[in-house]
Structure 1
């Protein structure tokens, strides 16, 4: 069912991984999707081509969101691609990965994480609001790192905590305009971008799966389906919420089955 027919969307960081899965899902649901990329135009063009081969509509937009001109570049390309149509759905997915524990983090790495993971979504939302229709959807990808103490992800978790707070407060501000604002928090999710990380050391993937209630790692489409729900009319009454899409990681000890 094409629940988003006639609507428009932009997904940042959509050339690969979770972002690509989100873009493909929203397009499959009928939306015209702007596929944002930072540097990998070839991957973004392939995402667009995949969407179009499946009967969907999409176009690529390049912008480096870590610098001061990035938001301007994003909206210049977005406005050209939308040709005067309003923006219905914004998915803030582009992010810098964890930089390591505090004793090895540098000021440059810290600034980069906050520039891409916090500052960019904030100002992308600021620019998107005047373009949004009365059924607007703003969805930011967070992480279960905000509720799990992982010493290798301190600065990353801080940044994701900031966008969760941002989503909570903006939901209250923008609700009167009919715009919902939510965050989606994946757990351990294996994609084409990070697959090698789960293969070393041997047994690491099985170890992570054992900490997850549903007994496997997440897939990009698991996250995309949750985003599609929030973007659709089915999610119209959900706002100011962080949707955990982790398969139940770290819910507690898993008791071995007696059967």
Structure 2
């Protein structure tokens, strides 16, 4: 039986990239992890094994964060996972990380592109958080993922950045409305990171990589492990008095 001092984090999109880094960083800080994955069961199992190797409990649940109609059933599966693995009914932390990238000029962005981005990055975040409110412990934390692209503009990301800008506004409202329950809500805004996001362009295209390095104060492109520990740190008691904030983790892009 898990004691009441154990902390449990739910991270969407935890099977790879930034979400994987967050899961590992939280495990290293003594936090148990429930992650979601979209379709790759092997990657999900690998994250579970890594977290467990660090001495923490882990579970991975399938979820399409762009399908709000699936959220009630997911909440039930989460409740069962908590009961089976922890003999508890609440999580302490929710990290809305799952996302996709669409690179298209404003003129060429299709309605389907727009809807996919909205369903995952805005509608999904809004209604998944709403659905899980009864399962988030009083005094808990929520972290929503935004992007450096809400502060600076690069052609091709108008729709994506618009969704992330909306998430930043939503986060402030959540901080205000959930404050009476002692729940802190913040936004982490990564800069360009070497992942498979947007087809791995930042990681695999040398020209793009060199350009980002040239406009970043710390002189390089970000790595997933620049983000995961930052999220884990924000969820610790050391940062309990931080809420309603946008925290950019970009190495100083375009400063």
Q: Under a length normalisation based on structure 2, what TM-score does the superposition of the two structures give?
A: 0.92
Alpha-carbon deviations, 1:99-148, whole Å to 9, x = none? 41122211111001000000111111112221222221000110011011
Please name the residue that 2:47 is paired with: 47
Q: How far is 1:192 from its partner? A: 5.4
Q: How far is 1:73 from its partner? A: 3.6
Match of 2:245 among 241, 244, 248: 241
Aligned partners of 2:170, 2:120: CA distance in 1, in Å?
A: 15
Please name the residue that 1:63 is paired with: 63
More helix by proportion, 1 or 2?
A: 2
Please name the residue that 1:158 is paired with: 162
Q: Is the partner of 1:98 in helix, strand or coil?
A: coil
Q: Is the partner of 2:238 in helix, strand or coil?
A: helix
Aligned partners of 2:223, 2:58: CA distance in 1, in Å?
A: 23
Does structure 2 retain, via aligned residues, the 8 Å contact 1:146–1:161? Answer: yes
Q: How far is 1:191 from its partner? A: 2.5
Aligned partners of 1:120, 1:8: CA distance in 2, in Å?
A: 21
Change (3 A) 1:237 1:9: same
Q: Is the partner of 1:14 in helix, strand or coil?
A: coil
Does structure 1 retain, via aligned residues, the 8 Å contact 2:101–2:197? Answer: no
Alpha-carbon deviations, 1:167-198, whole Å to 9, x = none? 01111111121100000000011135568413
Q: How far is 1:199 from its partner? A: 5.3
Alpha-carbon deviations, 1:67-95, whole Å to 9, x = none? 23332243222111111331100000011
Q: Is the partner of 1:183 in helix, strand or coil?
A: strand
Change (3 A) 1:191 1:99: closer
Aligned partners of 2:222, 2:238: CA distance in 1, in Å?
A: 23
Aligned partners of 2:204, 2:52: CA distance in 1, in Å?
A: 36
Q: Which runs of 5+ in 1 are unaligned?
A: 252-259
Q: Which moved more, 1:180-189 or 1:170-179?
A: 170-179
Q: Does 1:135 align with 2:143?
A: no
Q: Which runs of 5+ in 2 are unaligned?
A: none
Please name the residue that 1:257 is paired with: none
Does structure 2 retain, via aligned residues, the 8 Å contact 1:5–1:29? Answer: no
Change (3 A) 1:161 1:78: same
Please name the residue that 1:254 is paired with: none
Q: Under a length normalisation based on structure 1, what TM-score does the superposition of the two structures give?
A: 0.90
Please name the residue that 1:191 is paired with: 195
